[in-house]
């Protein structure tokens, strides 16, 4: 009976530090993953903001008044409809 008690005591003495080491290791892994997630969320926020700026910039070119102003700035002239030729090509089946 004394031998079993000694083995059980030895097992507890060995496993308790291993348990604490495992807890520290897991906490370290959790902290590392948490830092990666924070960086990814920051990157995602930057991408979303950049996308919003691009959409807003593109919307400025969608208005007719803005297009006309750009055409005047670039000295472009509107082609009259009678000078437009449309060519349709049909493929034989």
**Above 80 in pLDDT, residue 24?**
yes
The reported pLDDT for the residue numbered 44 is 96
Residue 59 banded pLDDT, cuts 50, 70, 90? confident
Q: Where are the domains of the chain?
A: 2-83
The mean of the pLDDT values for the chain is 87
3-state SS, one letter per residue, for the chain: CHHHHHHHHHHHHHHHHHHHHHHHHHHHHHHHHHHHHHHHHHHHHHHHHHHHHHHHHHHHCCCHHHHHHHHHHCCCCCCCHHHCCCCCCCCCC
């Amino acid at each position: 009976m004394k031998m079993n008690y000694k083995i059980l005591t030895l097992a507890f003495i060995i496993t308790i530090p291993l348990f604490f080491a495992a807890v520290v290791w897991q906490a370290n892994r959790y902290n590392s993953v948490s830092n990666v997630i924070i960086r990814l969320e920051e990157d995602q926020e930057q991408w979303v903001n950049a996308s919003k700026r691009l959409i807003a910039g593109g919307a400025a070119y969608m208005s007719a008044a803005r297009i006309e102003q750009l055409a005047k700035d670039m000295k472009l002239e509107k082609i009259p409809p009678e000078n437009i030729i449309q060519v349709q090509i049909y493929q034989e089946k």
